[in-house]
Amino acid sequence: MKFRHLHLGLSCGILALSLLPAAHAAGKTAAVTASSLSASSTASAGAVSGTLTSGGKVVANATLSAYALDVTARTGMSWRTLTGTVPAGAASAIIAVRGGIEGACICAGAGGATVGDVWYTEPNTGNTHDVSPVTVPVANAPVSVRTYALVPGQSISSNLAQFAVTSGASYGAYVAIAATGSASSAGYVGVIFLDASGRELRRDKIWFTPTQIGLPNATTNASGQYQLSVPAAVAAVWPEIHVSYTGSATTQATSSVIASTATAAQAQMPALAQQLPTATQLAGAKLGWFSPREDFLGAIAQGQTWDQLLLQWSSSAQHIQAIRIPTSVLMAIPDSVLPGIFRAMDAHGLALGLEIGVANNYNEVACGAGVESYSDPGTANQVIQKVLNAGGKVSALLMDEPLWYGHYYTGANACNSTIQDEARRSAVVMKIYTAAFPNVAVGDIEPFPEVPLQPNWQADYASWVQAFYAATGTRISFLHVDFDWGNPAMYQYTAYPSVPAIQYVAQLAASAARSNGQGIGFILNGSQDATSDAVYAYTAQFHMDALAGAGVNPDQLAFETWAAYPSLTLPETDPNTLSGEVYYYFSKYN
pLDDT band at 13 (very low <50, low <70, confident <90, very high): very low
CA-based nearest residue to 483, from 465, 459, 499, 467: 499
pLDDT higher than threshold 70 for residue 543? yes
Cα dist from 222 to 50, 56, 533, whole Å: 13, 15, 66
User: From CA 427, how far away is CA 209, in angstroms rounded?
Assistant: 31
Q: For residues 25-31, give the mean pLDDT.
A: 51
From 9-23, 57-71, 186-200, 514-528, the region with the lowest mean pLDDT: 9-23
pLDDT higher than threshold 90 for residue 5? no
Tell me the per-residue pLDDT of 290-340, one tens digit each, with 9 for 90 and over: 999 999 999 999 999 999 999 999 999 999 999 999 999 999 999 999 999
Q: For residues 137-153, give the mean pLDDT.
A: 94
Q: What is the pLDDT of residue 31?
A: 78
Q: What is the pLDDT of residue 12?
A: 34
Strand partners, 214: 67
Q: For residues 174-181, give the mean pLDDT.
A: 98
Query: At 448, which helix (H) or strand (E)?
Result: strand 441-448
pLDDT higher than threshold 90 for residue 450? yes
- Percent of the chain whose predicted confidence (pLDDT) is above 90: 90
pLDDT higher than threshold 70 for residue 29? no
Q: What is the pLDDT of residue 59?
A: 96
pLDDT higher than threshold 70 for residue 552? yes
Instruction: Please report, as a single letter, which amino acid is at residue 225.
Output: Q
Report residue 214: phi and psi, to 5°: -65, 145
pLDDT higher than threshold 90 for residue 30? no
CA-based nearest residue to 403, from 559, 485, 513: 513
Please report, for the chain, the start and end positions of each structural domain, with discontinuous segments joined by +.
Answer: 17-24+34-72+211-258, 78-207, 273-286+326-557
Report residue 75: phi and psi, to 5°: -115, 15
Q: How far out from the chain centre does Cα 22 lie?
A: 44
pLDDT higher than threshold 60 for residue 14? no
User: From CA 281, how far away is CA 35, in angstroms rounded?
Assistant: 53
Q: Nearest 10 degrees: CA dihedral of 362, 365, 366, 372?
A: -60
Query: 369 with 415: CB under 8 angstroms?
Result: no
Q: Do the bridges between strand 287-290 and strand 556-559 make them parallel or antiparallel, or are there none, so unpaired?
A: parallel
Q: What is the pLDDT of residue 590?
A: 78
Contacts of 247 (CB under 8 A, 6+ apart): 20, 21, 22, 32, 35, 253, 254
Q: For residues 211-228, give the mean pLDDT.
A: 96
Sign of the alpha-carbon dihedral angle for 578, 580, 585, 586: positive
Query: 522 with 547: CB under 8 angstroms?
Result: yes
Choosing among 3.90.1150, 3.20.20, 1.20.5, 3.30.70, the CATH entry for 273-286+326-557 is 3.20.20
pLDDT higher than threshold 90 for residue 567? yes
User: From CA 105, how far away is CA 375, in angstroms rounded?
Assistant: 39
pLDDT higher than threshold 90 for residue 82? yes
User: From CA 512, how far away is CA 331, in angstroms rounded?
Assistant: 33
Q: What is the pLDDT of residue 455?
A: 96
pLDDT band at 172 (very low <50, low <70, confident <90, very high): very high
Q: For residues 489-505, give the mean pLDDT.
A: 92
pLDDT higher than threshold 90 for residue 11? no
pLDDT higher than threshold 90 for residue 462? yes
pLDDT band at 45 (very low <50, low <70, confident <90, very high): low
Q: How far out from the chain centre does Cα 393 lie?
A: 5
Which class is 17-24+34-72+211-258 in CATH?
Answer: mainly beta
